[in-house]
A and B are shown apart, each in its own frame.
Chain A
Amino acid sequence: MSILVDDTSRVIVQGITGREGGFHASSMVAYGTHVVAGVTPGKGGQDVEGVPVYDSVAEAVARQQANTSIIFVPPRFARSAAVEAIEAGIGTIAVITEGIPLKDTVEFVALAGARGATIIGPNCPGMISPGAKTKVGIMPGHIFRAGSVGIVSRSGSLTYEIAWRTTQAGLGQSSCVGVGGDPIIGAGFAEILEMFRRDDGTQSVVLIGEIGGNAEEMAAQYIAATGFAKTVVAYIAGRTSPPGKRMGHAGAIIMGEAGTARSKIDAFAAAGVAVAERPSDVVRLLTR
């Protein structure tokens, strides 16, 4: 079992005629995802390796009963692509694009909230449910395998590194979700943890966080408040990064007391969540 995406996901690739969109559309198809359409305004009627391209999301929904979307459009057009998907009734939208203005994200995240759509991202690798052979994202499929560990992460390649370790240890994943590295995102840790809580196929969770913002502190509060019954192991990147320096993800700027690695580690400890000191500790803590 899984969360967010499975073999009932009928996926639109917005930006399919671009280099990234086209490459990852093929990769998703090869993995087993039901990619039913691509959307690039003005390029309707074409096809990209067998996937029909439409001018609008509404048309793709009408013709192909699409219910999921993944967005690869450039930052200046991402907001309108997301709004288009939300207004066409798409329920789950992965926004891969990095570099979207914060104001734009605030707008489409608010609209999604009002319409009951789930936004994953932006600036994220997407999500994968290996047991259902479905990925709506850019992660390499071969490092995942079906299993019962749920993974939720703010990172991209670090997620693969840790997921690969769980696969090598014989543990597979129910679903792996990259929530993205931007300061403002759609679904956050608490929302994804709640989905894992309700998923019978998930028995334990790995949470990969980083310095900056208070997403981990809020996740710890959620875990404590709900008495989250499944094992949670956390890893926090950036423990030794000096405060005040901007590094990589915009979201990793530390502001004052909130957002330090110490604050997150303490919050998790208080909620009974084991915190791995290094990536290899994750598997040890999951299996002890």
Chain B
Amino acid sequence: MKLLEFEAKALLRDHGIPFPEGGVAVLADEAESIARSLGRPVVLKAQIPVAGRGKAGGVLRAADASEARAVADSLLGAVIKDCLVESILVEEALDIATEYYLSVAIDRAERRYVVLASAHGGVDVEQAAQTSPEGVARSWADPVSGFDRPAAHELVRRAGISSAEAGELAGLLVHLFAATLERDAELTELNPLVATSTGALVAVDARMIVDENALFRHPDIQAEALNRERTPREIEARERGLAYVDLAGTIGVVGNGAGLVMATIDLVSYFGGSPANFLDIGGGGEVDITRDGLLLVLEKPEVEAVVVNVFGGITRCDIVARAVIEAADRASVKKPVAVSIMGTNHEEGQRLLDEAGISSYADIEESVAGIMKTLGKDEHSG
């Protein structure tokens, strides 16, 4: 779950990370008054959960309070990188001497936390890392001893940082690591963490991604952040316990198990179609979830036809069939549905579907080929 910049900063401040002075504004009035109380030039930043907002015009400066108001007016309500800007962070503009990059992430391949540091922070850190990877130093946390002060000093040294700030940077890395673990974050990133012309270290930007699976033990982190990246249909689906993602095509896809659903989506493409969604109804063979999920897909206007692929051991096919029939019955517009089911009672399931006039198959490729043929669009007939 991606946190907005101001949310990440609020959490990380508690762990000893220094941030610029400022505040969050949802109205131009508020932005003006924050700028006035700071009494110096400010930077106004769109609070949206995407990378590259700076280059897309989401980070702007203002010399004084009235300019801040005008800038806030232009940012609030704007759409930047497909995100609606509902809040902005107004912070003192800093005199930047050096930009560092500090982060902690989970390294899947090593199955450990990795701490990164670089003296080449800022908006182009990724390009810099690609052209000269040795510029980003890495240190994998020991599962037992974690990431301590000596390890942090060593990392800073390997990043080629020997300035007066090196010791303080090492301290911040230790804090950042502790914050990452305490908050069950998958990623915490300070880019840039700047040294100002007076030598102060301040984290100008902060990014944090929190593990959704750990939210149950962080009641202070609002789970509604999850909905920021979802379409209205995805939000509705989530509320009903459906694992649903909107896609751009016209063939609805329903299945049990993420791998099976992705394979079905691939088959839709293989047979010349374009998927309208991803929907995983899970392995429990729940009637309500199957019916509600299929109905949600059928009701999407762009959907012309739906393929349902279920392969289960304990899933009862006659129950799945009944759920499919019920959903098809309730749909406001009748659309072709093809079903492939395999599992307990699959003959009974197929019989029920045949009686209801719904095409049934025993093979997940045949159901997709079948639905494309029904629409007159298959590229690989036979």
Interface residues of A (CB under 8 A from B): 23, 27, 75-76, 99-103, 106-107, 109-111, 114, 138-143, 153-161, 164, 181, 183-185, 208, 210-211, 213-215, 218, 235, 237-242, 245-252, 277-280
A247 touching B278 in the complex, CB below 8 Å, given contacts A156-B283, A161-B364:
yes
CB–CB B266/A76 < 8 A: no
- B22: interface (CB < 8 Å): no
* Nearest 9 pairs of A and B residues by beta carbon: A248-B258, A140-B313, A155-B259, A157-B257, A110-B143, A158-B259, A101-B214, A237-B262, A240-B269
B266–A238 CB distance below 8 A: yes
Residue among B113, B257, B310 with the highest chain A CB neighbour number at 10 A: B257
**Complex Cα–Cα for A110 and B243 (A):** 30
Closest to A182 in B: B213
Is A103 within 8 A of B211, CB to CB? yes
Contact B270 A278 (CB under 8 A): yes
Of the candidate stretches B23-31, B103-111, B348-356, the one touching chain A is B103-111
Q: Which residues from B are CB-within-8-Å of A99?
A: 213
Q: Is B365 an interface residue (CB 8 A)?
A: yes
Q: Is the CB of B245 within 8 A of A154?
A: no
Q: A75-B213, A102-B184, A247-B278 are in contact. Are A154 and B364 (CB under 8 A)?
A: no
The A interface is mostly helix, strand or loop, or mixed, namely: mixed
Which residues of chain B are near A213, meaning CB under 8 Å? Answer: 108-109
Cross-chain contact B313 with A106 (CB below 8 angstroms): no
Q: Which of B257, B262, B280 contacts A238 (CB 8 A)?
A: B262
A242 to B256: give the CA distance in the assembly, Å.
20
Closest B residue to A99 by CB, please name it.
B213
Q: Which listed residue, B214, B245, B280, touches A103 by the CB 8 Å rule?
A: B214
Alpha-carbon distance A102/B212, docked complex (angstroms): 9
Instruction: Provide the residues of chain B in CB contact with A164, threshold 8 Å.
Output: 311, 342
Whole-angstrom distance between the alpha carbons of A109 and B245 in the complex?
31
The proximity string for B residues 46-78 relative to A, scoring 1 for CB distances below 8 Å and 0 otherwise, is 000000000000000000000000000000000
Q: B residues within 8 Å of A by Cβ? A: 106, 108-109, 111-113, 143-144, 181, 184, 186, 211-214, 216-217, 243, 245, 247, 255-263, 265-270, 275, 278, 280, 283, 310-314, 342-343, 364-365
Complex partner residue of A158 from B213, B263, B343, CB under 8 angstroms: B263
Give the chain A neighbours of B266 by CB distance below 8 A.
237-241, 278
Q: Are A106 and B143 in contact (CB under 8 A)?
A: yes
Which listed residue (B109, B213, B258, B343) contacts A155, Cβ 8 A?
B258
Residues of chain A contacted by B258 (CB below 8 angstroms): 155, 181, 210, 247-249, 252
| Extra inter-chain contacts (10) besides given A183-B106, A279-B365, CB under 8 Å | A103-B211, A143-B313, A157-B311, A210-B262, A235-B263, A237-B259, A240-B266, A241-B278, A245-B278, A248-B261
Bound-complex Cα distance A104 to B112 (A): 11
| B364 nearest in chain A by CB position | A161
A218–B109 touching, CB < 8 Å: yes
**In contact, B255 and A157 (Cβ under 8 angstroms):** yes
- Asked whether, in the complex, the Cβ of B211 is within 8 Å of the Cβ of A102, the reply is yes
Which residue of the partner chain, among A76, A142, A181, A250, contacts B259 with CB atoms under 8 Å?
A: A181
Complex-state Cα separation, A142 to B313, whole angstroms: 8
Q: Are A246 and B312 touching (Cβ within 8 A)? A: no
Task: From known contacts A184-B106, A246-B245, infer whether A102 and B213 are also in contact, taking CB-CB under 8 Å.
Answer: yes
